[in-house]
Amino acid sequence: MNDERKARSGPPAQDLVKRTKRFALSIIELYSRLPTTTVAQVLGRQLLRSGTSVGAQYREARRAKSDADFISKIEGALQELEETAYWLDLLEDSRVIAADGAETLRAEVHELTSILVASVRTVKRRK
């Protein structure tokens, strides 16, 4: 197994697989507690889609065939994180959830973003 492949499948990568899955489950839990109003459900579905896509994108990146493919898939996960932050903002700003109702999720969006940005930078530096 080459170093590149090992970096994508070793213990830190496995930890991130679990972490992105926990993040998705937290998104699902928030969605399940939303009111049944049209606004809540429309925004919630968008949040559900973007928030659960992060882990799927990361898993795809781990199977990338090249650095360029890896970067592309990680950037897809980063886009989903940014979109998730947007839907959380809208849920709070529209008062569907309390103003501080997504603090933990927002913190995790920030931390996952930092980790994935660092991964992209590391791969780009190797080139």
The domain in which residue 61 lies consists of 3-126
Torsion of the alpha carbons at 72, 77, 82 and 87, rounded to the nearest 10 = 140
Whole-model pTM above 0.85? yes
Contact at 8 Å (CB) between 113 and 19? Answer: no
Q: 116: which residues sit within 8 A by CB, 6+ positions away? A: 58, 74, 77, 78, 81
CATH of the domain at 121: 1.20.1440.60
Comparison of pLDDT for 101 and 36, the residue scoring more: 36
Q: Could you report the per-residue pLDDT of 64-90, keeping only the tens digit for each?
A: 999 999 999 999 999 999 999 999 999
Radius of gyration of the chain (CA): 16
| 7 — pLDDT class (breaks 50, 70, 90) | low
Report how many domains make up the chain: 1
